[in-house]
Amino acid sequence: MSQYFKIGKLAASTGLEGKLILQHSLGKKTSLKGLEAIFLEDKKDSFLPYFIQSTQIRSDTETILKLEGVDMMEVARKLTPKDVWLQEEDFNKFTAKAAPIALLGYNLIDGDTDLGEIIEVIEQPHQILCTVMYKGNEALVPVHAENLLKMDKKNRKVYVEVPEGLLDIYG
């Protein structure tokens, strides 16, 4: 089964012919050239492909998409504000290596404890929050300059010093 990574959301429709504005966290300006499809979550862990007709760069964090079968503003509006997902291969191809979202799929390590795989990255002004499944619960762990010990890109691991007591609230 393919693994999917959330890259942003369809923020709004634009124009009368059903174009959509994708707000993304890929870490670089991109037209997504060569990408065949984006995926929208139909229900939990069930993704539907939407095939791309054309794309256009709008800014560093926004790309305008024209999707097959979405030809009117009313149809496009029904797709907002839905999260957009890419399959792992496409995610790796289009994500800037230095972008925080590139940490998706890495394991978060605190001392000798593997806290689990990073399943979501939330960017904030002075830190990022990494979501991991810890003892059956979604745990938010802050990562910033003071608690990031090292990154092992080869083995896809992020070593952090989790603030004392933080994980106690999750189980």
Domain boundaries defined on the chain: 4-96, 105-170
pTM of the model: 0.74
- Integer CA distances (angstroms), 26 to 22, 70, 84, 121, in order: 11, 24, 12, 11
Residues 63/78, Cβ–Cβ less than 8 Å: no
* The CATH number of the domain covering residues in 105-170: 2.30.30.240
Q: Considering the domain delimited by 4-96, tell me its CATH architecture.
A: Beta Barrel (2.40)
Residues 171/135, Cβ–Cβ less than 8 Å: yes
**Max Cα–Cα distance, the chain, nearest Å:** 55
Residue-level pLDDT, tens digit, the chain, 171 residues: 468 889 999 999 998 899 999 999 888 888 899 999 999 987 777 899 999 999 999 998 999 999 999 999 999 999 999 999 999 889 988 888 778 888 989 999 998 899 999 999 988 878 899 999 998 889 999 998 888 899 898 999 999 999 888 888 877
Q: What share of the chain is helix, strand, coil (3-state, %, to 5)?
A: 10, 50, 40
Query: In a 3-state reduction of DSSP, which class is residue 141?
Result: strand
